[in-house]
């Protein structure tokens, strides 16, 4: 008598989804800023663009290094007349992310410190008397220290891309003339 024994084994393999830490990502951003306080009297809300480089240490903690350009068009009804301006912000800081394992979106809080480079463009003032020569006012620039804090959300679009929306309040410490503005941005976070 021959006994024939056969068996079938089946194993299901699963891939662990998730990010290996530390992970690096790049986030190009575009948005709008709203001048507050004293600069709201002079400059209008306008566009901004920038990029953040992010190093995520674990599920909750990351650090960012960012650069942003803010266009600051002068209000036409503000006297005396003057040039449009811009800010270039170079900032770094921590980001704390929170959310449950069942929630795909990750909310975050971030704060930063950095250099705020304010530039006014060259402009011409027409002579006040008919036939008088115009005066060219040269461009000028100043760099000040500033801080910022804000909130945002990362919404996964795929395994290597997130949609980012964030808003931050910026405070620039200028001698005798501090500036405050609110910046709202959106962009794509590309993970490597």
Q: 94-145: per-residue pLDDT in tens?
A: 999 998 778 889 999 999 999 999 998 887 777 667 777 777 888 889 999 9
In order of their start, the domains of the chain are 23-191 (2.40.160.20)
Work out the average pLDDT over 134-161: 92
Q: 40-84: per-residue pLDDT in tens?
A: 888 999 999 999 999 999 989 999 999 999 999 988 887 777 788
- Per DSSP, the three-state class of 37 is helix
Query: Which residues face 166 on adjacent strands?
Result: 152, 185
Q: Report DSSP letters for 89-154, one per residue.
A: EEEEEEEEEE--TT--SEEEEEEEEEEEEEEE--EEE--SSTTPPPEEEPPEEEEEEEEEEEEEEE
């Amino acid at each position: 008598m021959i006994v024939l024994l056969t068996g079938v084994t089946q194993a299901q393999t699963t891939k662990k989804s998730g990010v290996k830490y530390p992970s690096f990502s790049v986030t190009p951003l575009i948005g709008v800023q709203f001048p507050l306080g004293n600069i709201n009297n002079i400059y209008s809300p306008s566009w901004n663009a920038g990029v953040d480089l992010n190093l995520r240490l674990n599920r909750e903690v990351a650090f960012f290094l960012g650069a942003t350009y803010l266009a600051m068009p002068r209000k036409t009804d503000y006297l005396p007349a003057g040039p449009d301006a811009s800010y270039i912000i170079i900032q770094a800081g921590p980001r704390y992310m929170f959310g449950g394992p069942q929630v795909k979106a990750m909310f975050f809080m971030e704060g930063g410190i950095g250099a705020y480079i304010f530039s006014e463009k060259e402009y011409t003032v027409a002579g006040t008397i008919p036939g008088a020569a115009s005066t060219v006012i040269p461009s000028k620039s100043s760099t000040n220290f500033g801080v910022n804090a804000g909130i945002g959300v990362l919404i996964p679009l795929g395994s290597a891309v997130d949609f980012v929306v964030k808003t931050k309040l910026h405070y620039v410490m200028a001698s005798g003339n501090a500036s405050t503005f609110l910046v709202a941005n959106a962009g794509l976070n590309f993970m490597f």
